[in-house]
Structure 1
Amino acid sequence: MSKFNNKWLRAVIPALLIHCSIGTVYCWSLFKGDIASYMGNTVGEVEWAFSLAIFVLGMSAAFGGKFVEKDIHKSSLLAALFFVVGMAGTGFFIYQKSLIGVYISYGIIMGIGLGIGYLTPVKTLMLWFEKQKGLATGLAVAGFGLAKVIASPLMEALLGERNSDGILVNPTNIYTMFYILAGLYLVMMFIGHLLLKKPDGYEEESIQSTRFSYRKVLKNKTFIGIWLMFYINITCGLALISQEKGMLVYIGFGAIGLVSSLTAVFNAGGRIAFSSWGDRLKDRNSIYKVIFISSIITILLTIMFNGINPTISAFLVITLLCIVNAGYGGGFSSLPPLLSDRFGIDSISTVHGLALSAWAFAGLSGNQLSAFVLEKTQSYDILLFVIMALFAIATLISIFVVKPEKVFFDSKEQLNRKEEVVAN
């Protein structure tokens, strides 16, 4: 094997380049207020661009799986073009002060690049790391989580100084930042596109030669269970993560920036740790039980002992945010290998894409859930009870619905396995 044709150069590095680029979508909170201020809109109006981007991400992944399955080189190039055009277009429409333009460029065009780009490296990684699928997907998806840590200082530098009210001294920096980032991410994603390659000797099975059926997948009990627990994990994660700053302010903890960086590290670390742990377990679904139960226990401890004194309250809340962030990230990285274990690797990009539609709907419901509960109750304890109840439901789904048996959808590989089972 050539020293330039190995799993690190042909799978891990391109996956990180692609995911570290598209993961900057989570930096939205850094500049949404600046966009609203420059354009003369409310933050609430501008916020829909982010919600739309996450929704389109999930739906483009759901419907783009077959395209990714056929040709990762076309899909990686298409992802780069959509993401970069969407980012540059966002800068242009901010300059034009067109809210609809921002919705289209950031929400739809960039959202398509996000969905296709997120899917593209996954199957390639699992093919290179056949016995360590969790580690492989964890490394790549960690790039998506680390993107915020890496890009945030760069974005702050590009935005420039602020006055005492937090307003940009030079407001035009808000759209020029998007132009500069578009150029940077074009280079990163194009290099990733050029490097990405499946292992030598692997023959891509034609999607038409498999008897893959969307209907069979969507009606399958195991897939429905995985979809639901994945949806709940994202919804709960977003509901809590979106209130991170508010909870810290409520308990009087001032080092919000430090905690934000800490939780981002746990988010990225959880993506590697949980999925790698899954490689050593008999049933990878056990990882989700660990994620849900650890979140429930941490929430219970926070509710029971919060308020004893400021130090304990701060420790409990920060611990809770770190645990939920780790589980949130781990839920993403553990999904592709779990689906591969249940449905085989033949059509994993398609099945994974369908499962990511849960992300689309959770992106619309997570933030809104916490906002609704707090508006009605003005109580973080009630919000934590609601989130804990949802985690409990997800635990029951993981135990009673997502069974350990493989599911066959009649691909060539799976038909051969069936014949072996019958013969034995």
Structure 2
Amino acid sequence: MKSKKTKNRWLIAASAVGIHISIGSVYAWSNFTNPLIEEFGWSTSQVQLTFSIAILFLGLSAAFMGHFVEKHGPRKAGILAAVCFGTGVIGSGFAVSISSLPLLYIFYGVLGGIGLGVGYIAPVSTLVKWFPDRRGLATGLAIMGFGFAAAISSPIMEVLITSVGLQNTFYILGISYLFIMIVSSLYLEKPEEGWAPAGFVEKVKAGKMEQKRDLAQLSANEAVKTKRFYYLWLMLFINVTCGIAILSAAKPMAIDSIGMTTVQAAALVGILGIFNGAGRLGWATISDYIGRPNTYTAFFVIQIALFALLPFTTNAMLFQITLAVIYTCYGGGFSSIPAYIADIFGTKQLGAIHGYILTAWSAAGLAGPMFAAWMKDTTGSYESSLLFFAGLFVVALVISVLIRVDIRRIQQQSEKTVRQSMKKVVS
């Protein structure tokens, strides 16, 4: 029987980027805020709630639909994500046409949010299997697309809103996302069992490349019963909580603490978005060389120092450099976590486990900005919250050491079992 032709893994990666660039446009939601307020008289909090609902359902659907991704494969999961997200954006146009805020919540927040969650995990879990030699690079490519999406979508949204109005903007974007995501999903496929990239096996045999073995091959239900799962969850939660807080506070801090103008601060936020995207690819690629445990420890050591430094920074250049590095660590946390999950739980049910871990994102999305705003209202500045976040990173650093200890313990148990098995064979 003739075996089917193996797909190009770089085109698989390009397909993943296509999906993530589409769903990542959620980060450009602020483009709709003022036009919606001006047209319908809704409050800022009412309009922003749409975005919060979308992020909430991203986390929930990623957690609950992870098993769907594993059972039905990335193609069907990607198409489901396309239908949900595309229909959600198109439906938002209908909601706007009848001036219905509740319908906007349902279409963009709930339906669009479900598309976000499924679309986020489906291509990532597949990419890890296509890149056993470069897990970090593969996941970094896709999740970089999510990070850069706002920079690509924002100017397009601005032009469309100005030229064709809010309603038609939602229709055009929704149809475009639906098309891009479906086309991208149709190429997605898991590699055949035992597949390896050309020359990979030969290089391993020749000793030119080390084949890193996964710590275990666990199902999602088995993974959630381990300490390692909760260590990963907490590390991601702390990294995202502190990162989102600084994202929400960057502009007012630049104005109040450094003395930048509103225009300069807005430009800074846009530029920092590039570091967010670049950090996703850069740190994930670095993690292939130094290992995921070292990468996460580096995140926390760097950010302990920078968050402690920020409240006392008055120099504009130092302020911008500090924020840029923090943004790379924030983005890198997202892109390194799928490869970290694969390293310690295997690829058996990676999509489902990744979905469970992403609930940390939803929780952090609520906790970070709310805490930073509360500290600002209570103390009159963001400085005290930054010192608190530096303390949180100390906790994260301790967790990053504890997970190393746990990994090492399991490795020693595995080595002991192998030695005992060899002794039995010899005897």
Q: Bin the TM-score by the shorter chain.
A: 0.7 to 0.9
Aligned AA for 2:276?
A: N
In structure 2, the residue matched to 1:17 is 18
In structure 1, the residue matched to 2:212 is none
In structure 2, the residue matched to 1:165 is none
In structure 1, the residue matched to 2:148 is 146
In structure 2, the residue matched to 1:199 is 191
In structure 2, the residue matched to 1:206 is none
Superposed, 1:236-275 pairs within 5 Å as: 236-250=242-256, 251-254=258-261, 255-275=264-284
In structure 2, the residue matched to 1:7 is 9
Deviation readout 1:79-134 (Å, 9 max, x if unpaired): 00000011111121122221111111111100000000000111221111111100
Superposition CA RMSD, Å: 2.3
8 Å CA contact 2:218–2:348 kept in 1: the answer is no
Counterparts in 2 of 1:396 and 1:38: CA distance versus 1, 3 Å: same
Counterparts in 2 of 1:256 and 1:341: CA distance versus 1, 3 Å: same
Percent identity between matched residues is: 38
Distance 1:292 1:107 in 2: 32
Q: Does 1:297 align with 2:295?
A: no
Q: Does 1:66 align with 2:67?
A: yes
Counterparts in 2 of 1:355 and 1:402: CA distance versus 1, 3 Å: farther
Match of 2:126 among 124, 127, 131: 124
8 Å CA contact 1:135–1:279 kept in 2: the answer is yes
Distance 1:121 1:237 in 2: 24
Deviation readout 1:4-51 (Å, 9 max, x if unpaired): 821111x21100100000000000122222223322210111211111
Question: Unaligned stretches of 5+ in structure 2?
Answer: 196-216, 423-427
Superposed, 1:23-172 pairs within 5 Å as: 23-70=24-71, 71-160=73-162
Aligned AA for 2:356?
A: L
Counterparts in 2 of 1:4 and 1:104: CA distance versus 1, 3 Å: same
8 Å CA contact 1:228–1:358 kept in 2: the answer is yes
8 Å CA contact 2:87–2:178 kept in 1: the answer is no
Distance 1:199 1:321 in 2: 39
Number of aligned residues: 392
Distance 1:194 1:323 in 2: 37
In structure 2, the residue matched to 1:358 is 360
8 Å CA contact 2:55–2:362 kept in 1: the answer is yes
TM-score (norm 1): 0.87
Counterparts in 2 of 1:370 and 1:2: CA distance versus 1, 3 Å: same
8 Å CA contact 1:222–1:403 kept in 2: the answer is no
Superposed, 1:354-393 pairs within 5 Å as: 354-393=356-395
Distance 1:22 1:52 in 2: 15
Aligned AA for 2:96?
A: I
Counterparts in 2 of 1:319 and 1:211: CA distance versus 1, 3 Å: closer
Match of 1:221 among 216, 227, 230: 227
Distance 1:4 1:126 in 2: 16
Aligned AA for 1:113?
A: G
Match of 1:318 among 311, 320, 344: 320
Distance 1:226 1:421 in 2: 30
In structure 1, the residue matched to 2:346 is 344
Distance 1:133 1:355 in 2: 18
Distance 2:219 2:309 in 1: 46
In structure 2, the residue matched to 1:167 is none
Structure 1 counterpart SS, 2:347:
coil
8 Å CA contact 1:49–1:107 kept in 2: the answer is yes
8 Å CA contact 1:61–1:116 kept in 2: the answer is yes
Question: Unaligned stretches of 5+ in structure 1?
Answer: 162-171, 204-209, 409-415
Counterparts in 2 of 1:301 and 1:364: CA distance versus 1, 3 Å: closer
Counterparts in 2 of 1:407 and 1:187: CA distance versus 1, 3 Å: farther
